[in-house]
Structure formats: C-alpha cells, structure tokens
A and B are shown apart, each in its own frame.
Chain A
Amino acid sequence: GAVVSQHPSWVICKSGTSVKIECRSLDFQATTMFWYRQFPKQSLMLMATSNEGSKATYEQGVEKDKFLINHASLTLSTLTVTSAHPEDSSFYICSAARPGQPQHFGDGTRLSIL
C-alpha cells in the first residue's frame, strides 16, 4: 500500500525556535498534501492544503506566517512552525493523496515547546 513518511516523530525545543516537519510520499507521486493538527482525544483539524509548485491554501483561523508550508516536489512537503511557543505544542499529521484517492497518512509528529 501507499507509504507516507513523516519526520521527526517527536521533537522538543525551546520557545522562540523554529521547527521543520517533513512529509514524504515514498512510493507514489502526491499531487496534494494536507497538514492537520490534533489535540488529545479530539478529531483531526485541517490546517492547510498544499499542491506541488503552488502556494498552500490555509483554513480559516490558521496563521500562514506562523505555519509555513512548502510543497517543492510531488513527494515532499514541509511544515515549519516559526517562533514556536508552548501553545503550538500539539500532534501534527500530514497526509498525501492523488485526485479521487483516499488520503494516506504519515505517523505524525509530537511537538513539545518548552
């Protein structure tokens, strides 16, 4: 089946630093990648949708200057949390998809800001 790799799986960093999370589709070309945020025992909240070679589309209420998304190729998208603060601590999940096909998810990144 389709494999999506997300790295790192867990990161702890100091307040004010920037953190980059990578999402790679290993065995298929993903025209679209999605970034989600999830709080404990809650559903996935879509943050943004990115298409290869174009600017990401952010959901309402998501700060695009805070959460920078780059989708440079059909197999790689990155999410950078800039100047991270404790309230940015959360579980971030990416997914990758081709048109009309189910999304395949990465294993998620647990981000802890001290």
Chain B
Amino acid sequence: AQTVTQSQPEMSVQEAETVTLSCTYDTSESNYYLFWYKQPPSRQMILVIRQEAYKQQNATENRFSVNFQKAAKSFSLKISDSQLGDTAMYFCAFMQPTGANSKLTFGKGITLSVRP
C-alpha cells in the first residue's frame, strides 16, 4: 500500500517570501502521479500542481514549483512570492493510474499561514 507523509503540521511565511512544503511517499510502483492540492478556508479543494513520475523535469505553475526526487521518494512544493491568498491547508497526494478506480492517497496536510 502507498503512504504519503507530510511531517510538518504548520508553517508560517512572510508575504512575498518563499516557502517550501515537504512531502515524502512510499510505493513500490514505477508509474504514478503526484499532486499538491490547496484547501483554503472556504474548504474547496483546488489542484495546484501535478507531476508524472516518468517525467524527470520538475513541474511548474506560475509561482508554484515542485522538487521531485524519485529515488528519494520526495515531492516538495515551493511557493515563491507568497501572497495572503496562499493561506490554506496543502495536501500532498499520490495516485497510481491503473484501471478505472484511480484512488488518491492523501497526506495529513499542512496548514500554511502567510503573514502580512
């Protein structure tokens, strides 16, 4: 079974600064996807970024980028130029895309607070 570990329950960052959220996972599979989801106080789940395991290049989406280290099974999220609207819970998630039922395995999440 796959597991996803987010060991930091909370982090805080000053507006405009850069912050990195860590995530590690465990799997014996070679083909899988990794995601970061954001859940603001409204509780809507928003996909931030995705990474396919077969791609060596780290995914980027505007201010969000990942550091994907497949051998180390590490998948950290870097948020540059932090904004107040980035305040949210962030969940790292793993998906093995086999068959029709591609379940997500979530980490426990981290609460990020951006200070003005």
Contacts and interface: CB of A to CB of B under 8 A. Distances in A.
21 contacts: A31-B100, A32-B101, A32-B102, A34-B103, A38-B43, A41-B111, A42-B108, A43-B107, A44-B104, A51-B101, A91-B43, A93-B45, A95-B104, A99-B102, A100-B102, A101-B102, A102-B33, A102-B35, A105-B45, A107-B43, A108-B43
A108 B44 contact: yes
Count chain B CB atoms within 10 A of each CB in A46, A100, A101, A104 and give the residue with the most: A100
Interface of A: 31-32, 34, 38, 41-44, 46, 49, 51, 57, 91, 93, 95, 97, 99-105, 107-108
Contact of B100 (A93, A99, A107): A99
B24 to A, nearest CB: 15
Main secondary structure of the interface of B (DSSP, over half): loop
B62 to A, nearest CB: 15
A103 B108 contact: no
B19 to A, nearest CB: 19
A99 B102 CA distance: 7
> Which 4 pairs of residues, A with B, have the shortest CB-CB distance?
A105-B45, A100-B97, A43-B106, A43-B108
Nearest to B37: A105
Nearest to A1: B47
